[in-house]
Structure 1
Amino acid sequence: MKEAIDLSPSRRQMLRLAAMATAWAVAAKAANAAEALQRENDNAYVAADGVSTFESVWQTVRDRFFDPRHNGLDWPAVRERYLPDVRRATSQNSLARVINTMLSELHASHTRFYTPDEPEYYQLADIFVGALRRRGLQRAFPDGRISYPGIGVISGFEAPGRNTITGVIDGTPAQQAGLRTGDEIITADGTGFEPIGSFRGKVGKSVVLELHRGASVLQIPVMPVDLEPTRMFLRGLESSARVIESNGRRIGYVHVWCYAGSIYQRALEHLLSEGALKDADALIWDLRDGWGGAQPQYLDLFNGRAPTMQVTDRSGRSEFVNVKWRKPVAMLINGGTRSGKEVLAYGFKKYRLGELIGTRTEGAVLAATAFLIGSGLLLLAVEDVWVDGERLEGVGVTPTTEVQAGSASTGADDRQLSRAVAVLSGI
């Protein structure tokens, strides 16, 4: 006689729980094994392909760097010095550190190797998307869409584990959460902060940032989104536009976070001709931080001797052509003002279009392009740049009115902006 099997509710529940526990254990073991295998694959990739990536970077610099003398370096000897460190690299990030140490010997701006763990990798891929279509863009972004999980801050590591915000882009989750320039992000959901890694797999979910603001330690929840660089920078420009009332005057303000594309200049012209700033009495043009890419002709916006046209079609839709700003203007600059923005700052100051307020610009004025190499992106200076016979690389542009930024993280006002408002409102 076969033994009866107890299938009472309690017995069935116990069997179900036991089965679930076994399944969880198997799944966890499989996940741990997969994670370990991925780590091994990552290390195997670096061991197998790290030297190849390094060699490709070295060769690209040899063949395309704007100075064929490589700033006086014996470039083949440089390769030999760094090759042992490359062979010892154990990750993509450690490989990138070796490559960037080598590139730093060139003492040139616009020359750096970025990895997919950095927002700049995606932002530069978007900026140079036209050139990269011929250089393997589809391999890095199979669907052609360039985006990354993030919150919309510009930041930099001053030391291991210390990430300080240098800019909060308008209209992004970071601004909506109340993050400020000067905040130092320590952890995200209790683990060390990483600009990309802390938000992978968490788009649309709350992430709690622990940060230092002055002497205070704060816990601030923020919800990362999938950021497309051009859309983020364009929305940042448009969201920044506002009018500041001061001394009976309406002072318009706009922050151009990125100038790598005429789309940003067109957006600015729209704001001035028929948008939020059209009735302002004066303008503050903020070119602090972000990316350059501006063209010298953008200063024609302030050429009062050329006419503006308004054209209207039969439906009544109008647009302005050759928009001009004929009212007072001031420009804000700082050490994060770079590249094409510095050319604008130079012309703005030399031709006395208005007050240049802030601190010296970065002095990063070379022309660059980008290359996708291995799993990273090489930004490389390929042309030297002179402006009205002067070389701004390594020099920068000094303001007509120097004002230190102060510390916004302690609640202080933006001193540079405050000075611009005072200048334009006659205080």
Structure 2
Amino acid sequence: MKEVIDTSPSRRQVLRLAAVVTACAVAAKAPNAAEPPRGETNSYVPADGTATFESVWQTVRDRFYDPRHNGLDWLAVRERYLPEVQRAASGDSLARVINSMLSELHASHTRFYTPDEPEYYQLADIFSGALRRRGLQRAFPDGRVSYPGIGIISRIEVAGRNTITAVIDGTPAQQAGLRVGDEILAADGTAFESVESFRGKVGETVALEVQRGASVVQIPVRPVDLEPTKMFLRGLESSARIIESNGRRIGYVHVWCYAGSVYQRALVSLLSQGVLRDADALILDLRDGWGGAQPEYLDLFNPRAPTMQVTGRSGTSEFVNVKWRKPVAMLINGGTRSGKEVLAYGFKKYRLGELIGTRTEGAVLAATAFLIGGGLLLLAVEDVRVDGERLEGVGVTPTIEVPAGAAPAGSDDPQLSRAVAVLSGT
């Protein structure tokens, strides 16, 4: 996911996550502690907290993209945090100590996740190719990465509440009517946990207590066993729709995750022979979710190349080298990260259309993942420059700034509303 790309297969695997994507083709040097089989634990409890901490510290020492650790004395950092590790009373406390240590590196794609977080499973699935060589089977004995959930992206507020920042299309959360901005207070009368609240309740009704504005509402939801790649792919396909405005048909699609060519193929299919085929213009939504996109995905909007339709003896047709030659706008926000930021950069620089929303996250390092002590370490292992520019810590600014909260009357998504207005001439 860099601007300069070596196209050999192993190299492309590393690059696939200038955001969070595929895998580094180099084996991990840190030891992998055995993990309990999926479903047999109710919360993250490492077998040995000190050993887990040491493995994370050593992996950063040996694999972090900057051998100088961004100017830190990494040995001194270890000595400073080790007493806190020894005092940590639970796995949750250990993870907080580890992440405090990692935060001193001031680098994106560098965090320790536990099985109590949806991101643990999502990253395990994204990096499953590399992790098969690094102990994936110990964490997921049947080779299937999944977790009980409802399909939201959320953040933990200072008060411990879970605030929804995105609702993935086609998931139980969307079907239940959950909205961006909802604060989930409780599930079945107990404090809400992103994974734990749904463990053992797949297919059952869970009563969520939700703060929505000034009101507290009860919302029933039925969690399912989510396989991350399938969830994100279904979310992309379910999001695709036509918005009628000012006599024009505006196509809309949300790419929730770009960590794999399967998502680009699905997008191309929607544009060439799916619901978006006859749209007059397109809104490509890259807000929130995971990155992993390859720069060449922007070639979809290059009009200077032919599209072929190939039809076989059976009459089945396939489009090759599909191009979108109609107007297009791209939506971005602070949750647009990594490979998606590379696309946003190119989209803006080469004037393919309007870039609408707010500045991207500025998380553009290439990373890989390691299973350590029952958790997952996401670690930045390569620096990335795009057309010679370093986007890490900088991000990409939109051509049309639209804050998420400035909603026009009757709209709960002002950025989308502005894109529709731009493309429909209103």
TM-score of the pair, normalised by structure 1:
0.88
> Kindly, what percent of the aligned residue pairs are identical?
84
Helix, strand or coil for the counterpart of 2:259?
coil
Tell me the residue number matched to 1:363: 362
Q: Following the alignment from structure 1 to structure 2, what is the Cα–Cα distance between the partners of residues 53 and 185?
A: 31
The residue correspondences of 1:198-217 to structure 2 (distance < 5 A) are: 198-217=197-216
1:189-242 residue CA offsets vs partner (Å, 9 max, x unmatched): 010000000000000000000011111111000000000000000000000000
Counterpart for residue 72 of structure 1? 71
Is the Cα contact below 8 Å between 1:114 and 1:377 reproduced in 2?
yes
- Taking the TM superposition and a 5 Å limit, the aligned residue runs for 1:301-316 are 301-316=300-315
Please give the secondary structure, in 2, of the residue aligned with 1:159: coil
Q: Against the structure 1 CA distance between its residues 407 and 215, is the aligned structure 2 distance closer, same or farther, given a 3 Å change threshold?
A: farther
Q: 1:407 to 1:108 in 2, by over 3 A?
A: same
Cα pair 1:406 1:412 within 8 Å, conserved = no
Q: Matched residues in 2 for 1:271 and 1:139: separation?
A: 38
Count of aligned pairs: 386
Q: Is the 8 A contact 2:290 2:337 kept in 1?
A: yes
Q: Is the 8 A contact 1:210 1:219 kept in 2?
A: yes
Correspondence 1:107 to 2:112: no
Cα–Cα, structure 1 residues 299 and 232, in superposed 2: closer, same or farther, change >3 Å? same
Match of residue 126 from structure 1: 125
CA distance in 1, matches of 2:278, 2:405: 31
Task: Report the secondary structure of 1:53's partner residue.
Answer: helix
Q: How does 1:412-427 map to 2 (within 5 A)?
A: 412-427=411-426
State the distance in 1 between where 2:157 and 2:60 align.
Answer: 27
In structure 2, the CA distance between the partners of 1:173 and 1:343, relative to structure 1 (3 Å rule), is same
Q: Does the aligned pair in 2 maintain the 1:358–1:401 contact within 8 Å? A: yes
Does 2:280 align with 1:285? no
- Write the letter of the residue equivalent to 1:192: A
Alignment of 1:218-233 (within 5 A): 218-233=217-232
Q: Secondary structure at the match of 1:399?
A: coil
Asked which structure has the greater CA Rg, the reply is 1
Aligned letter for 1:204?
A: G
Gaps of 5+ in 1: 1-37
SS in 1 for 2:384: coil
Report what 1:151 is aligned to: 150
Instruction: Write the letter of the residue equivalent to 1:148.
Output: Y
1:220 is aligned with what amino acid?
Answer: I
Question: Secondary structure at 2:157's aligned position in 1?
Answer: strand
Greater share of residues in helix = 1
How far residue 42 of structure 1 moved from its aligned partner, in angstroms, is 8.5
Q: Which segments of structure 1 move beyond 3 Å, counting only runs of 4 or more?
A: none
Q: Any conservation in 2 of the 1:161–1:192 contact (CA below 8 Å)?
A: no
2:181 corresponds to 1:188: no
Q: CA RMSD in A?
A: 1.6
Q: Distance in 2 between matches of 1:160 and 1:377?
A: 26
Contact 2:187 2:207 in 1 (8 A): yes
Q: Deviations over 1:89-113 (max 9, x none)?
A: 1111111000000000000000000
**AA matched with 1:339:** S
Contact 2:241–2:275, Cα closer than 8 Å, also in 1: yes
Q: Are the aligned partners of 2:284 and 2:329 in contact in 1 as well (CA < 8 Å)?
A: yes
User: 1:57 is aligned with what amino acid?
Assistant: V
Flag the structure with more relative contact order, 1 or 2, with Cα contacts below 8 A and sequence separation at least 6.
2
Distance across 2 between alignment mates of 1:318 and 1:81: 63
Q: Determine the structure 2 residue equivalent to 1:270.
A: 269
**Tell me, which stretches of 5 or more residues in structure 2 are unaligned?**
1-39
Q: Which amino acid aligns with 1:181?
A: V
Aligned to 2:253: 254
